[in-house]
Structure 1
Amino acid sequence: MKKPSEPLLEVRDLRVDVGEQNVLKSVSLAVPAGALAVLMGANGSGKSTLGLTLAGHPRYKVMSGEARFGGQDLLPLSPEARARAGLFVSFQAPPDIPGVKNGLFIRSALNAVRESRSESPLDAFDFLASARTAAAELGLPDAMLNRPVNDGFSGGERKRNELLQLALLKPRLALLDEIDSGMDVDGVRAVVKLVQSLRAQGTAFVVVSHYLQLIESLEPDSVHRLDQGAIVEDGGLALARDIARTGFVRAPALAEA
């Protein structure tokens, strides 16, 4: 009998504290290569904490449990090493970085990833050509590449800029934290189109979202509900539809159905 392959991302009994507060009590999640999992949950349930913990944010302290990525122990790695390994985490509220040009920022990140893959770096000319193409597909003007990172960007522009990074980096797994928040209709369509394109190339996704229309458009393989720092329900689109109908405060009979 053929042994089943190890999930690309495997989180087991992860417990995380932020300062003196325990935010994740025990989270377990497995995401195969190329799969798309959706995380749903009320505000404060731990969705963003999971993403920032996997990214290696220093404020988020892993107290117990494990996280493996591509068969490798993720937790001892620096944030830079996690990114080079192919993990991409978007921000719910992307920060601005005054004084650092957007194009230079993305090219530096891309070339660091290419170096880890034993690929030659892109020079400014080649990068600009690919960046302009990707930006046009996402509805971002070329001028955004020459401006400081997110400086003066609207909420929707910041999210599209996260998508631009995603499109160029082509990670093995992307965790998108409410990527549709602040987006107009065209922006949400750009999200769906890019996710579908990258999935076809093998990228796996963990998508945090509250909105059923986006979730249905993404056609997830699994849906998981977080509550008070733990995953309490697993399912598919039917679970997302139930949550949209009943809300996050669910009766025990519904959660056990």
Structure 2
Amino acid sequence: MLEITHLHVRVGEREILKGLSLAVHAGEVHAVMGPNGAGKSTLAHVLAGREGFEVTKGSVLFDGTDLFALAPHERAAAGLFLGFQYPVEIPGVSNLLFLRTALNAQRKERGEPEISAAQFMTRVRAEAAALGLDLEMLKRGVNVGFSGGEKKRNEAFQLAMLEPRLAILDESDSGLDIDALKVVAGGINRFRGPDRAVLLITHYQRLLDHVRPTHVHVLIDGRIVESGGPELALRLESEGYARHAA
């Protein structure tokens, strides 16, 4: 599904990613772990198409298509979703309007009919209930007045509604208490499937106690320096990253 080959990325004069390679197949959940400044969020932003990141070498294929040939909205329509470390607020645009507009824009890009208001609200009620989101909250501006945990639950709600093929989740556990963590993890687990994949970016093992990955990678100084299974995350929790940095 996703094939990253020798990817080099710089921001201004600083090279952040320095030859990163990674392959993610349908049905898999990959956790990318590493210390601050390793390049984890840079990887997420580059894949989503955020401006300000210059790709100097390497390639990324998404379902066999050159990802960098697609504009951000085309990547989204193709099935790529980015969950932000710090979800933004959009005053004046309700969550429901934002989400239905995004969903229908993607459906139009794929040549599919728009979802009706009745179909949309049926899905909204089911997914909101599963994530413990109040419908009244969803009528407010996007993330406006939401706590950190509510913002992350809202992103899990967007993930469920948009049904992408590849979810890139940048520190979805950041700022969550244990109850909110379990709810967000439950949303990720419900999303998992044989035709979908997840790229989890995180500092810590605690999310992986609830979302068991198929692969774990250690990202240090712009490169993946070690890969393994869930046991690698447990070792990192006890040993830290010092042995890799050395």
Distance 1:166 1:251, change over 3 A: closer
Corresponding residue for residue 14 of structure 2: 21
SS of equivalent residue, structure 1 residue 193: helix
Distance 1:251 1:168, change over 3 A: closer
- Please list the CA deviations of residues 83-131 of structure 1 after superposition, one character each: whole Å capped at 9, or x if unmatched: 0000001110011111111111111111122223332211333212211
Residue 86 of structure 1 pairs with residue 84 of structure 2: no
Distance 1:238 1:118, change over 3 A: same
Report if the CA contact (8 A) 1:216-1:237 is conserved. no
Q: Count the aligned residue pairs.
A: 246
Corresponding residue for residue 4 of structure 1: none
In structure 2, what residue type is equivalent to 1:111?
Answer: N
Which of 2, 22, 31 is 1:9 aligned to?
Answer: 2
- How far has the Cα of 1:22 moved from its partner? 1.1
Corresponding residue for residue 61 of structure 1: 54
In structure 1, what residue type is equivalent to 2:26?
Answer: A
Note the 1:101-140 alignment, pairs <5 A. 101-140=94-133
Report if the CA contact (8 A) 1:195-1:218 is conserved. yes
- Please list the CA deviations of residues 27-74 of structure 1 after superposition, one character each: whole Å capped at 9, or x if unmatched: 100000110000000011000000000000011111110000001000
SS of equivalent residue, structure 2 residue 157: helix
SS of equivalent residue, structure 1 residue 200: coil
- How far has the Cα of 1:247 moved from its partner? 0.7
Note the 1:68-79 alignment, pairs <5 A. 68-79=61-72
Greater Cα shift, 118-127 or 18-27:
118-127
TM-score by length of 1: 0.91
Report if the CA contact (8 A) 1:138-1:187 is conserved. no
Runs of 5+ unmatched residues, structure 1: 1-7
Corresponding residue for residue 152 of structure 2: 159
Which of 152, 167, 173 is 2:166 aligned to?
Answer: 173
